[in-house]
Amino acid sequence: MPYSIMLDAGHGGTDPGAVYNGRREKDDTLRLVLAIGQILQNRGVDVEYTRTTDIYETPFQKAMEANEAGVDYFVSIHRNSFEQDNIVSGVESLVYDLSGIKYRMAENINANLETVGFVNLGVKARPNLVVLKRTKMPAVLVEVGFLNSNTDNQLFDENFDDIALAIADGILETLEEVARESAVNQTETGQEMLSSESDADRQSETYSENNENRLNEMDSANSNKVPYAEYSTDNALNNIDSAAESANLLESMRSEQSIGSSRNAATNNNVETARNDTLNNNTESSGSNGPDNRLSEKARLSRPGAYRVQVGLYRNWVYAQRLLDELLAAGYPAYLDESGPYIRVQVGPFMTLMEAVRMERKLRRDGYDTLVIRGK
């Protein structure tokens, strides 16, 4: 299985974490992380650790280690604590926001731990936690029961192997879901899906070097028209369908390069503008008080050259609708395209490739697998 993951045992060294009747969180987390890692390694996952002994590192150091290692996923294991002993019990997982692969992984882990006997307290968004905010890959923090709950401690001790397996299986189930969806997309489109966390999109420090190479390529790429092609971020900038669009994109990239650190803010503004324009156009074309995504999409994509960002491809309408609801709740102009044998979950449309690429980058930063495609 071509995936890598960094496992983090919460706390350590001079930081014991929660303490209850002589029991220390840092000891439970290290023991559990090593057991989870062994299972994942046996299943073919490349596993790295923030610690394998009783040492202390700051959360920021742990996030930077994961970024430098270039792993695909980051999972941090903790034990919870409450103000009063033996009042609250159960497991919960924390993510940066309730979207994307990280959210699905957290849900799978919680569901598996529930089968062991824990109360499932759900998945919560904690955008200010350093290991969730500073990591550049999908990250999940799992609170495996309350350390000051006798009930949870008994579950932890008596079912330790089952708990390790439940967490490992939750991770593996998510990876298998991602692999299956990518395989369906490849079969349908004939194009390989982009990896969920490409260095060019996830690491701003490499953007300038790649941008310079792309600018040089764009100078010589006049009007390379590609009929109804499907794009990835890596080749999208070399496949512009008109000389005018090529010139506009080139100028836009040069402007981004000149403003340096303000590039991210400008990109986000452009993405938001594109999203709002799309929503407004959808509203007008549907003739209702709010956007009817599927109806307006038929009208907009009757014009050739419209680009969309595909986020999912399903045979089952229920799963497609669930992803659609998730994207709409996050503010994305998403819709279902049911014109073919599969149900496509897409975001857009966008009249220029640059708008679509920018939106794709935003989606991938939120943990979605994406593919830029061009309308028929």
pLDDT tens, 25-64?
Answer: 999 999 999 999 999 999 999 999 999 999 999 999 999 9
Distance CA 329, CA 324 (A): 9
Q: Tell me where in the chain the CATH 3.30.70.1070 domain(s) lie.
A: 192-374
pLDDT on residue 185: 67
How much is the average pLDDT of 241-253?
44
Higher per-residue confidence, 269 vs 343: 343
pLDDT at 351: 85
- DSSP string over 325-349: HHHHHTT--EEEE-SSSSEEEEEEE
In CATH, what is the architecture of 4-183?
Answer: 3-Layer(aba) Sandwich (3.40)
Q: Is the dihedral angle over the CA atoms 30, 36, 39, 40 positive or is it negative?
A: negative
For the stretch 169-180, pLDDT in tens is 999 999 998 888
Residue 237 vs residue 102, higher pLDDT: 102
Q: Does domain 192-374 have CATH number 3.40.1080.10?
A: no
pLDDT value, residue 322: 84
A 10 A CB-CB count for 26 gives 24
Q: What is the rounded distance in angstroms from the CA atom of residue 76 to the CA atom of residue 187?
A: 35
Residues in contact with 314: Cβ distance below 8 Å, sequence separation at least 6, in sequence order = 184, 320, 323, 342, 343, 345
Question: Pairing relation of β-strands 91-95 and 120-125?
Answer: parallel
Residue 86 is predicted with a pLDDT of 96
Q: Where in the chain is the domain with CATH 3.40.630.40?
A: 4-183
Among residues 251, 281, 255, 269, the alpha carbon closest in space to that of 351 is found at: 281
C-alpha distances (whole Å) from 21 to each of 18, 67, 87, 259 are 10, 36, 15, 56
Please report the sign of the dihedral spanned by the C-alpha atoms of residue 14, residue 65, residue 174, residue 205: positive
Q: pLDDT value at position 373? A: 84
